Each structure stands twice: as structure tokens, then as C-alpha cells.
Structure 1
Amino acid sequence: MRYEKICRGKFISRPNRFIAEVETGGCVRRAHVKNTGRCRELLVAGADLIMEDFRGRMGKRKLEYSLIGVTKETARGPILINIDSQAPNKVVGEALRSGKLRIGGMGKVKAVKSEYVYGASRLDFYVKDETGREALVEVKGVTLEEDGTAMFPDAPTERGVKHIRELMGAALSGYVACVIFVIQMKGIDFFRPNDRTHAEFGEVLREAQKVGVEVLAYDCIVGEDSLRLDAPVEIKL
């Protein structure tokens, strides 16, 4: 996926979870934060930002910029991290439709539907292959990194627990069921659930794998104006 127009800036503060104060072009502006997670280790004063620039195509928007990426300084060197919470679904959708991403041993994909209602949840994707096999897929974006380890979630997520339980029911009903953790950066050694922040999510994820839910993690190639699903990442549950 690509962004139409981007610009650079510096992070100043985050008055609330939807808005950041940034410096760009020598002026202080407000930008929409496209991620409602905490991002405390990323959004620090002076951090280098990548923003989507909507000037000249505002439509009904109130803010001219959306914050989509941040450079995190680490012991291994700087990492550019995409923090757009809508981007993981877009790159997974592209990979499913192109055939780059195959789940559960399914054949050639014939149909991919987004925002699929199943049970009491709206799951990210319904997939059907050429043989008639059906799959339900939930996507989780990952921006939290510590010493080469990617973790999810960065804040308690009852909604995430609910989605995993729905996938468990789907797996027991005969669907191919899959949760994909999209790590929105490169340079990761492995992925694990963040039990320290939300132990229940980790417990449910391990339980789901035992009943047949496929658990996948992929990193991404992050460009200033693009994001692409790349390589599988080892998972340690």
C-alpha cells in the first residue's frame, strides 16, 4: 500500500489519543494520530515523524496531517515504524488477493471479503478458495518492540480477546481460522504476546492455537510512503 503525499515532522506532545502536536515546516501544527494505542515508547518529544499530508484534498477532514510513522532510536540503531492502525488490514488484504499470503493450506483464493460478521463480532476477512474451503482471518497490528522482540497488545484489549474466542468457535465449526500479527517494522527476532500488559490475551491466544486457530506473524517493509507485508517471524507463545 502507498500513501499519496507525505511530509516530515517532529513530535511535541499528544493532548489526547487522537491528536498530536507536531513541528513541521518551522510551524507547530496538530495532526491526527491513526493509532489509539498507547505508543508511549514511540511518541517521545523530538521523535522524527512521517505524516500523510492532506493539504489540497481535505474533503471533510479538520486536520491537514495524519501521523503514520515514527523513527524509534534503539540499541540496534534507528527503526522506522508504521503506526497507522488501518495499514495492517490493507497489506493483508493485498497479500491475500494476490496469493502471496496463503493460510491453513488453502488453495487459490477465489473470494476475499472485508469486515465479515461472524457470531457477535465483525472479523477482518472472510476467504474462500477454489475448492470451497472457507476461512476467517483476524489481523492485529504490532508497533511495540523491545530489544528485537515484537509484542501485542500495548494496552489491554477486551475486543482482541473477544475476536480470538470467535476464531476458536469458527475453528471448531470447520472453518480455517487464523490470526495474523502484522509487525509494522523490520529487524524483529521473534513475536510473543504481551502477558505483562494483558495476561488474558496471551492465555486465550495459546488456548486458540491448541484448538486449531493458526497463529501467524509477519514483518513489513516500511517506506516513508509505503508499507508491504514481507517475511514470516518466529512466534514464541
Structure 2
Amino acid sequence: MFFKEKLYQGTLIKRYKRFLADIRLEDGTIVVAHCANTGAMTGCAEPGWQVWLSKSSNPKRKLAYSWELVKTDFGHYIGINTHRANELVAEAIHNDVINELKGYQQVKREVKLSGDNSRIDFMLTGVGLADCFVEVKSVTLLQNKQGYFPDAVTLRGHKHLRALSELALQGKRAVLLFCVQHTGMQSVKIAEHIDPQYKLELTDALSSGVEILTYSANISPKNILINQAIPFIF
């Protein structure tokens, strides 16, 4: 995924109210940027770090700028905009980057499931292949050189795991795909110390036949591209 226009570079002043961040641009102007990330963003939002923003030309938007990237003191790039994760995965599936999902000809997004109004990010279909349902999770929490998910208690994430389990028990392929948007991560584990219930739900999901895929991305102010599988440690 290449950014359509050049990003604006600046310095993070602070993130607040979950969806807002004050940024000082290179010319000294201070702007308020939208932060499309509902997580705790631990280790992703330190004042003084370099950040990159996209700017919308839509006059109806309340905030023109969106926070896209941050660069840590260790030189790691992090994708802040979690909405990008689904774009990255869709592009990677189309380009056959994700080996385990090759061969599917059609990709349908935001698929509504029967029963409880749940939605799954993708449904893949292909001739001679079992329907495959994929739920994507963006991973940005790095602690002691280890990548973790989630970075906060996620009741929505618990619900998604139960939905995937039901699909797997019906004989369909059900995949939980961790999209790692942090260049400092070499592997991913479940953050049991943050959300122990998520670990229990995932254990049940695995026993039901749910698959786990973990892919990392190259990140720069020019583009973000999923490039390789990395280990998931359970």
C-alpha cells in the first residue's frame, strides 16, 4: 500500500481523548490530528517522537489530518492507523503474498454472520476450496523485544474468536490473522498479562479448528507492505 500523497512530518506533542493528537509540523504549526486507534497504544505515543500525517481534501471532515506513522527512539516504524490493517491484508491476498490464502478468486469484505449481527473482515471463496473467513487484528504492542496482542482488554475481540470458532465447527476455514504494524517485532504472543480471558477464548478457538497466521510489514513514510510471515508463540 503506497500512500497516495506525500505525508506531512511532525513531532508528537500528546495523544488524548483516544482519537485526538496534537502534532507540531515542521514549519512550527500545531495541528490536531485524528487518531484511528482505539487501543491503549502503549509504547506508540511518546511525546517528542517523529510522526507522519496524511491530509484529506474533504471539506466536510472535522479534522483534515490523520495520524499514520510514528518512529520510535530505536528507529522502529509503527503503523498507527489500525484501519490500514484490512487494506494491507486485502492487498496481500490479491498479490498472493499470504501463502496460506493463495488460490481464492473472490474476496468479500465485512461479511455479516447469522445469529448475533457479528461481522467478519473477509470471506474468501474459490473453486474447489472451502469458504474461508478471515478476521484481522493489528499488532503494535512491543514489550521487552516481544510483540503482544491485545494491548487492552478487548470484549469485541472475544466475540470475534467465538464467531470464528462457530465457523470452524461448521466445517469452514476460520482464520485469525495478526497484521504486525511494528518493524521491531520478530514474533507475537498473546498478552495474557493484559487480557487473560483472550488467552482462554483463543485456546477454545484453536481446539475448534481456528487457524492463526502472523504476518509483518515493511513500513516507511512512502508505503506499508506486508512482506513475510513471523512466528506466533502460544
Aligned counterpart, 2:105: 110
Aligned counterpart, 2:81: 84
Check the 8 A contact 1:19/1:32 in 2, yes or no.
Answer: yes
Aligned counterpart, 1:42: 44
Q: Distance in 2 between matches of 1:212 and 1:40?
A: 31
Question: Out of 162, 166, 174, which is 1:177 matched to?
Answer: 174
Indicate whether 1:189 and 2:186 are aligned. Answer: yes
Runs of at least 5 residues in structure 2 that lack an aligned partner in the other structure: none
Question: Out of 197, 200, 203, which is 1:203 matched to?
Answer: 200
**Size of the alignment, in residue pairs?**
230
* Post-superposition offset of 1:169: 0.6
Aligned counterpart, 1:2: 2
Check the 8 A contact 2:215/2:230 in 1, yes or no.
Answer: yes
* Post-superposition offset of 1:20: 0.5
* Post-superposition offset of 1:155: 0.9
Check the 8 A contact 2:42/2:151 in 1, yes or no.
Answer: no
Q: Distance in 1 between matches of 2:150 and 2:123?
A: 23
Q: Distance in 1 between matches of 2:16 and 2:196?
A: 29
Aligned AA for 1:116? Answer: V
SS in 1 for 2:105: strand
Q: Distance in 1 between matches of 2:227 and 2:124?
A: 20
* Post-superposition offset of 1:147: 2.7
Q: Distance in 1 between matches of 2:151 and 2:54?
A: 24
Check the 8 A contact 1:165/1:204 in 2, yes or no.
Answer: yes
Aligned counterpart, 2:160: 163
* Post-superposition offset of 1:124: 0.2
* Post-superposition offset of 1:38: 1.4
Runs of at least 5 residues in structure 1 that lack an aligned partner in the other structure: none
Q: Distance in 2 between matches of 1:189 and 1:59?
A: 41
Instruction: Note closer, same or farther for the CA distance 1:107–1:78 as it changes in structure 2 (3 Å cut).
Output: closer
* Post-superposition offset of 1:132: 4.3
Aligned AA for 1:219? Answer: S
Q: Distance in 2 between matches of 1:170 and 1:41?
A: 35
Check the 8 A contact 2:9/2:53 in 1, yes or no.
Answer: yes
Check the 8 A contact 1:217/1:234 in 2, yes or no.
Answer: yes
SS in 2 for 1:187: coil
SS in 2 for 1:130: coil
What's the TM-score once normalised by structure 1's chain length? Answer: 0.92
Q: Distance in 2 between matches of 1:126 and 1:102?
A: 16
RMSD: 1.4
Aligned-residue sequence identity (percent) comes to 29
Q: Distance in 1 between matches of 2:97 and 2:14?
A: 39
Q: Distance in 1 between matches of 2:43 and 2:102?
A: 40
Deviations 1:80-112 (A, max 9, x none): 111111111011111222222243xx6621211
Q: Distance in 1 between matches of 2:129 and 2:206?
A: 23
SS in 2 for 1:95: helix
Check the 8 A contact 2:12/2:45 in 1, yes or no.
Answer: yes
* Post-superposition offset of 1:63: 1.4
Aligned counterpart, 2:66: 66
Aligned counterpart, 2:95: 98
Q: Distance in 2 between matches of 1:63 and 1:107?
A: 39
